[in-house]
Amino acid sequence: MNRITRTFESLKAQGKKAFVAYVAAGDPDYDPSLEILKGLADAGADILELGLPFSDPLADGIVNQMAAERALRAGMNTVRVLDLIRDFRKTHETPLVLFTYLNPIFAYGFEAFQADAVAAGADGILLLDLPPDEAEQSHQFDGNNGLLRIRLIAPNTPPARASMLAAKAEGFIYALSRTGVTGAHGAPSADIGKLVAALQEHASVPVCVGFGISNAAQALAVAELADGVIVGSALVKQVELHATEDHPVEAVLAFAKDLIDAVHSV
């Protein structure tokens, strides 16, 4: 059983909601990035989303764009991201989802990337700029064993399309609390409950909500409505603020722990 599926089954049995943490691979450098991943897992993050640094992250806001730039300057690339996952897997079993654009996968080679990602220890992939129906028309993704395809669904997605995406989702659904690029600017939408309920009618996998969640109060409010809470830019911002310190992981984890505890209190 895939680690993502196993984790959600365990959380459901315990009556708990999931905390999903996003960070950019290799930000601010390889070793501190690895320590941040391990620290988030140890602090209680249920699933980790690992951003694959890319030069043109058009769906990302400025915080995640700068994180990708820092990682690229530090020498990160697709091969090094897989190395990072291998090193993480030496000590931890927390599920890992690769958050990426299509271009790096195309450059690496579709079949080779999928095989190497699974062998390294990745559990899922979220391709930001590949529409699901186009993926279904391509044989490049055949044989994607072990790498669940996580789907993004926005609040302005037409109902019929949202229902189709939800019905075909794997692992979990990443439901956007609002439209726009990633970022902690602006609070989550007041219509999250309606969005989650509509998706749950058609989905056989959990519905997690992200975008705009930057503090424990917001995380708690979303956790009361969804199966999981996704926090990205707010965590990445902590990496940015403390990147030049000797132990940036400590500040990142201190910030994350309040949000993790809030989600797990529901």
Residue numbers of the domain that contains 218: 3-264
Q: Distance (Å, rounded) from C-alpha 9 to C-alpha 29?
A: 34
pTM recorded for the entire structure = 0.93
How much is the CA Rg of the chain, to the nearest whole Å? Answer: 17
CB 211 within 8 A of CB 188: yes
Q: How many CB atoms lie within 10 A of CB 122?
A: 25
- Segment 132-185, tens digit of pLDDT: 777 665 566 666 678 999 999 988 899 999 999 999 889 999 999 876 555 555
CATH of the domain at 58: 3.20.20.70
Q: Distance (Å, rounded) from C-alpha 173 to C-alpha 196?
A: 10
Q: Is the per-residue pLDDT at 74 higher than 70?
A: yes
Least confident of 1-15, 65-79, 154-168: 154-168
Q: Distance (Å, rounded) from C-alpha 155 to C-alpha 193?
A: 11
Average pLDDT rounded to a whole number, residues 116-126? 96
Of all helices (H) and strands (E), which one includes residue 84?
helix 78-89
Q: Which structure tokens are listed for 35?
A: 């320590």
Q: How many CB atoms lie within 10 A of CB 186?
A: 12
Confidence of residue 38 (pLDDT cuts 50, 70, 90): very high
The runs of H, that is alpha helices, within 121-265 are 132-136, 159-167, 192-200, 216-223, 233-242, 248-264
Selected residue with higher pLDDT from 239 and 133: 239
Average pLDDT rounded to a whole number, residues 60-70? 92
Q: Tally the domains of the chain.
A: 1
Confidence of residue 122 (pLDDT cuts 50, 70, 90): very high
Q: How many CB atoms lie within 10 A of CB 132?
A: 16
Would you call 204 helix, strand, or coil by DSSP? coil
Give the rounded distance of the alpha carbon of 111 from its chain centre: 22
Question: What residue type is assigned to position 133 of the chain?
Answer: D
Q: Distance (Å, rounded) from C-alpha 199 to C-alpha 263?
A: 20
The residue with tokens 């820092």 is 70
Residues with a catalytic annotation lie at 49, 60
User: Please, what is the Cα angle at 102 between 97 and 107, to 5 degrees?
Assistant: 110
Q: What integer best gives the mean pLDDT of the chain?
A: 91
Q: Distance (Å, rounded) from C-alpha 199 to C-alpha 105?
A: 29
Average pLDDT rounded to a whole number, residues 209-233? 94
